[in-house]
Structures are given as C-alpha cells and as structure tokens.
Structure 1
Amino acid sequence: MTPHRPWQARRLARRRRLRRWLRRLPRRATVGRYPVIRRFADAARARPWLWSFRHREVMVSIYAGSVLALLPTYGFQLLLGFALAVWLRGNLTVMTALQMVVNPLTIAPIYAGTWALGSWLAGAAGVDLGDGGDPRTHAAALVIGGIVAGLGFALVLDVLWRIGAWEAAVFRERVRAEAGGAFESEGK
C-alpha cells in the first residue's frame, strides 16, 4: 500500500515501529513459546480478557503491573504478572511488557531508587525501620518505595494511554470523514 497523504505515511511508520516493539510480547497465538507461562498456555487462551485492549483491562494491567514491576520480586515477576492478570482480569500483554522494565541492566538503579524513596517516606512518616543492618529494614523500604513509585509510574502511563486513545479516536474520525465522502460518491 502506497500512502497518498503525508499523515498516512506517518501512520504506517508508527504502526511498523509499534509492531517491532510488541513483537516479543505474548499474544494468544504465541503464548506457548514462553518458558515461564508455557504451562498455562491453554488456560491463557481460554480467557479472552487477557488479550483485550479495552480500557478496563489495560488500566488494571497498567496499575497492577507497574506496582509489581517495582516491587522486589525479580525472577518471579512474569509468573506473578500472569497470576495477577488472570485474577484481576487484566491484559497479559501489557502486564508482561511492564515486567520487562526491570531487567539485569536496570535492576540496580531501580531498586536503589525504590529503597531510597521507601526509606525517605518511612522517615518522613515517623516510622523507624530499625538499624541499617537488618535485612527486613531494607525489604520494608523496598516494598514501600516500590508501591509508591509503581503507582506514580502507573499514573504517568495512564495519562499517556489516555492521550494515545484520544489521538487514535481523532485519527479514526478523520479517516471516516475522508472515506465517507469517497464511499458516498461511489454509491450514487
């Protein structure tokens, strides 16, 4: 398909870029390829909300997935994300994508940041997490910071999703208006 208008070329380029980014994420047809969730592939295919991009499913996955991604659950994130997506009836693709935020390259700065945030918030609230040598102190600070940072991250993603949905609706209306005139003239 050759684009006739400049906005069509931009739209095609945007679609190609988005497909390239989403290629590695699980879809209903490819869920059996992923080692962590392969055992649950039949259960995943039987639940249509795991693949739905309606507003409710995406928002559930954005908020739950963002908090889960920043909690100290590295190594179990995909399994926990799958369980959360099934339990909360969210989108598995969005949930999985959010779990990829924490990876071997980003784990140290993210956990250091969530620990610092959690320690600061606990201190500001007057909660004494104990001495710095206790591992439970660090875990509590990581959990507190992970929850707060995850909710903040989710809020940013929520706003971006709403802007993208608005832009898509405006684009669909523009295409319908242009196509409507062409189809009406052909039918006469």
Structure 2
Amino acid sequence: MSLVREELDRHHRTLKQRRGWLRKLLRPLPRRANVARYPVIKWFAGMARRLPFLWSFRKQHVLPALYLGCVLSLLPVYGIQFGLALVFALLVRGNITVLMGLQLITNPFTAVPAYILTYKVGMYLIAITGIGHGMSVWGTRANALVIGGIVLGVLLAVLIHVVWLFAAWEGRRIRARVHYLREALAAEAAGQQPPPKP
C-alpha cells in the first residue's frame, strides 16, 4: 500500500471518529425526528418540524443560539430555561439544539456553583461601576446575579466561538489535505506526476 493511501485512510479514520464523538454528544438533544418526546417542546412539535432554521447548523443560526444560550444558561432562571430557550430560538431564528444543549451547563450539580460565581462577578462589577445597585439589599443581589450571568455568559460564548472557529479551520485544513491525497492517489494510479502540495 502506498504512503498516500495510508495517509488518506488515516484522515478518513480521524474524520469518522470525530463524527462519532459529535453524534454521541448530540444524541440526547432534541432533533427534528425526536422532538415529540421532550416535555415542553412536544406541544410545539408540529410547528418546530416546519421551521428549518431551528435545526440548521449554518453560522447564521448557530451564532445567535450560542451567545443567547450561554447567557440564558447562567441567568437565575433555573427550571424554566428550556421553555425560554424555545421561545428565544423562535425569536432570534436560532438553532434549538445548540440553545437546549447549552442549558445543560446549569444542572442540579452545577447550578449552585455557577450562581455563586455569577453573584460574585456581578457584585464585583456593581462595586466598580455602581450600575445595578438597587435600593434594597435583595435588589442589589438580584442585579448581581443577572449582571454576572450576562457577563460570564458572553465570555463563555466568546470562548466557545473561538474554539468553534479553530475546529472549523482545522476541518477545512483536513478536507483540503484529503482532497489533495485523493488527487495524488488518482495521479499515482494513472502513472502521472502527483499535483503540487497546497
């Protein structure tokens, strides 16, 4: 077996492993085919099936869902997050799978630490800027949770966005390499000179 064929096979195995990992990660999340089995969403299943943007993984549908989902997951709305995620997915024409998946950031195990962190960040920002300082202690604390949730949510979304851009760049690079290897393999089979490396 030629070196070109071995490298092409290695790239195919890598891509197959990544797709399998992504499928395993997305399996419990709502999809067009299984939307009727989720408690709140099943009431809107008929409408959700007719709206293609809810299931689209294009950049214009994923980015609003990513940013809004991160902020919503860190706001003090635990328990109604999934319903709000559905409403916001319809309002911003965002991907519902991304929005729902991000709501799992705060679950029964992580909600308390996440809200403590958002509270501390919010109180720090209120102390520095004075914005959100309520008339009562509880008003200030509620504002701290909201401000901290928004700030940390946006920072988390930016971090995920950068990781996503890197993964997309790496995917394009691997696809270009696979394309080159296919051309080189075809040229090798035809007894021709392989194309120049990109």
TM-score above 0.5, yes or no: yes
Deviations 1:120-160 (A, max 9, x none): 1011003434554x2x2221110010011110001001101
Partners of 1:32 and 1:38 within 8 A in 2:
yes
Among candidates 34, 37, 43, match of residue 33 of structure 1: 37
Among candidates 47, 58, 61, match of residue 62 of structure 2: 58
155-164 or 175-184: bigger deviation: 175-184
Are 2:14 and 1:10 equivalent residues in the alignment?
Answer: yes
Name the residue aligned to 1:167.
Answer: 170
Give how far 1:180 is off: 3.6
5 Å-filtered alignment, 1:52-131, equals 52-127=56-131, 128-130=133-135
* Structure 1 segments of 4+ aligned residues over 3 angstroms from their partners: 127-132, 180-186
**TM-score, normalised with respect to structure 1:** 0.89
Name the residue aligned to 2:193.
Answer: none
Percent identity of equivalent pairs: 42
What is the distance in 2 between the residues matched to 1:82 and 1:180?
Answer: 45
What is the distance in 2 between the residues matched to 1:146 and 1:159?
Answer: 20
Partners of 1:122 and 1:129 within 8 A in 2:
no
Give the RMSD, CA atoms, in angstroms.
2.0
Name the residue aligned to 1:153.
Answer: 156
What is the distance in 1 between the residues matched to 2:15 and 2:144?
Answer: 44
**TM-score, normalised with respect to structure 2:** 0.85
What is the distance in 1 between the residues matched to 2:111 and 2:81?
Answer: 12
Name the residue aligned to 2:147.
Answer: 144
SS at match of 2:106: coil
Among candidates 181, 184, 187, match of residue 178 of structure 1: 181
In the alignment, structure 2 segments of 5+ residues that lack a partner are 191-198
Give how far 1:10 is off: 2.6
Give how far 1:167 is off: 1.1
In the alignment, structure 1 segments of 5+ residues that lack a partner are none
What is the distance in 2 between the residues matched to 1:8 and 1:110?
Answer: 39
